[in-house]
């Protein structure tokens, strides 16, 4: 390797990047890829990536868009055909009226988060999130020079996010409360009543409410609710990766109050210009034509969910309240180890099963493991068999 010169040593990363922690799930997946290159067979239960095929209508629409040379820039807010389709989808699914001017289409929900927190957060402002939470929330907030404020949620209560616990964390610096239902990593689905209570709390303190609805459509008991059923003065993240099996196509969107769209649009123009033109057309087709496929996917996921929960419980892992949304099981492994990262790596090395350590999702996730059932039943069965052998064997060298 070429030695680093004195001049190169002076070029260092900005201080704000030093506060950003790695996305552990991605690092585990990348380690698995390295193992697979060496010929090691690993069962992927670590990543929330649907194994189902992308709906045919999506692929057909994308090919047609290429054929018609629809490959130029779109409006910075997004192709009007897609934004209208989103409006129609929210009307049909939730009974809410929104207009295209309230939507900004992004290359996945991650850019939507970047835009919103960049536009909303001043240095030192606080955003309240649950703990555990989606791993990247704190890093988006910190990169915007804000402060993520964690509210612990607990297994015994089904990981419920309560207004009482949230209220204790509100300060004059609080800018917004972030909710995520169905939740990653817990699979918890928040009731409409609970959403109404949290919304009332936000309104009483004149702070924003942000709803991450990326796992909507993947609920197996009861019904998910959009925050827009409760209030128009809210921000919604959503996208196509999970429900429509379009992870690599990178398409998401943000719904915001009309008064907040302009600053978001200016940031989009500067940082991203627009989302992929072809995939936006494909996304519109997904919303209009993929209902049959998504219902089939949900049926398949539910069978996997029920199987995985039973197997994990039979192995002695703790699942007090069954998850009813997304495609994750967040299981208590504290009796094995309080170091979820070390345990997940030991399982990977010795059982060749990829699982996500709870610590990736916040301090209150320590001691838990997240299992994804977004894989084939055959692979899930193999993964559970390997894990069972691991737990019965002499590999439990990880102690917390």
Contact 24, 360 (CB under 8 A): yes
Domains of the chain, each with CATH number or no CATH: 6-53+292-392 (3.90.1150.10), 71-289 (3.40.640.10)
How far, CA to CA in Å, does 165 sit from each of 9, 131, 153, 231?
46, 11, 9, 22
**Looking at 62-173, which runs of residues are DSSP E strands?**
103-106, 126-131, 147-152
Whole-Å CA distances, 367 to 211, 325, 331, 358: 27, 22, 9, 6
pLDDT of residue 6: 67
The per-residue pLDDT string of the chain (400 residues; one tens digit each, 9 = 90 and over) reads 577 676 666 778 888 888 888 889 999 999 999 999 999 999 999 988 899 999 999 999 999 999 999 999 999 999 999 999 999 999 999 999 999 999 999 999 999 999 999 999 999 999 999 999 999 999 999 999 999 999 999 999 899 999 999 999 999 999 999 999 999 999 999 999 999 999 999 999 999 999 999 999 999 999 999 999 999 999 999 999 999 999 999 999 999 999 999 999 999 999 999 999 999 999 999 999 999 999 999 999 999 999 999 999 999 999 999 999 999 999 999 999 999 999 999 999 999 999 999 999 999 999 999 999 999 999 999 999 999 999 998 545 444 4
Give the number of residues written for the chain. 400
Which pLDDT value is given to residue 8?
A: 64
| CA 211 – CA 129 distance, rounded (Å) | 11
Whole-number pLDDT of residue 394:
52
Task: Specify the pTM.
Answer: 0.93
**DSSP assignment, residue 240?**
S
For the residues of 291-354, what is the DSSP string, one character each?
HHHHHHHHHHHHHHHHHHHHHHHHTT-B-SS---BTTEEEEE-TTT-S-HHHHHHHHHHHH-EE
Predicted confidence at residue 21, as pLDDT, reads 86
Which is it for the CA torsion 129, 130, 133, 135, positive or negative?
positive
pLDDT of residue 13: 84
CA distance 297 to 99: 29
Which residue, among 142, 190, 139, 140, has the nearest Cα to 166 in the 3D structure?
Answer: 190
Which neighbouring-strand residues pair with 357?
369
Residue 221 backbone dihedrals phi, psi, to 5 degrees: -150, 125
């Amino acid at each position: 390797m070429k030695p680093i010169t004195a001049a190169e040593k002076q070029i260092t990363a900005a201080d704000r990047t030093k506060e950003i922690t790695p996305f552990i799930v991605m690092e585990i997946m990348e380690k698995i890829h390295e193992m697979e290159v060496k010929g090691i067979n690993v069962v992927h239960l670590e990543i929330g990536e649907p194994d189902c095929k992308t709906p045919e209508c999506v692929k057909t629409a994308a090919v047609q868009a290429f054929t018609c040379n629809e490959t130029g820039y779109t409006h910075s807010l997004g192709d009007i055909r897609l934004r209208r389709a989103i409006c129609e989808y929210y009307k049909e699914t939730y009974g809410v009226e929104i207009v295209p001017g309230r939507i900004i289409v992004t290359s996945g929900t991650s850019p939507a988060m970047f835009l919103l927190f960049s536009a909303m957060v001043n240095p030192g402002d606080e955003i309240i999130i649950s703990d555990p939470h989606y791993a990247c929330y704190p890093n988006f907030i910190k990169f915007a020079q804000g402060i993520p404020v964690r509210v612990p949620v607990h297994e015994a209560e089904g990981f419920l996010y309560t207004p009482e616990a949230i209220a204790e964390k509100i300060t004059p610096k609080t800018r917004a409360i972030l909710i995520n239902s169905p939740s990653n990593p817990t699979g918890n689905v928040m009731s409409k009543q609970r959403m109404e209570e949290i919304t009332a709390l936000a309104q009483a303190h004149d702070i924003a409410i942000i709803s991450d609805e990326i796992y909507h459509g993947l609920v197996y008991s009861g019904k998910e609710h959009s925050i827009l059923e409760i209030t128009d003065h809210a921000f919604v993240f959503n996208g196509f990766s999970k429900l429509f099996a379009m992870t690599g196509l990178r398409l998401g969107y943000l719904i915001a109050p009309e008064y907040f769209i302009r600053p978001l649009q200016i940031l989009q123009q500067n940082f991203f210009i627009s989302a992929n033109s072809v995939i936006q057309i494909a996304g519109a087709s997904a919303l209009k034509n993929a209902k049959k496929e998504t219902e089939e996917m949900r049926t398949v996921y539910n069978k996997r969910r029920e199987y995985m929960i039973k197997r994990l419980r039979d192995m002695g892992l703790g699942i007090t309240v069954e998850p009813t949304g997304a495609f994750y099981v967040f299981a208590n492994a504290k009796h094995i180890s309080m170091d979820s990262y070390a345990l997940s790596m030991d399982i990977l090395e010795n059982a060749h099963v990829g699982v996500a350590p709870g610590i990736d999702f916040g301090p209150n996730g320590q001691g838990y493991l997240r299992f994804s059932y977004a894989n084939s039943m055959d692979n899930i069965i193999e993964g559970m068999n390997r894990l069972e052998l691991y737990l019965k064997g002499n590999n439990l060298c990880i102690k917390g």
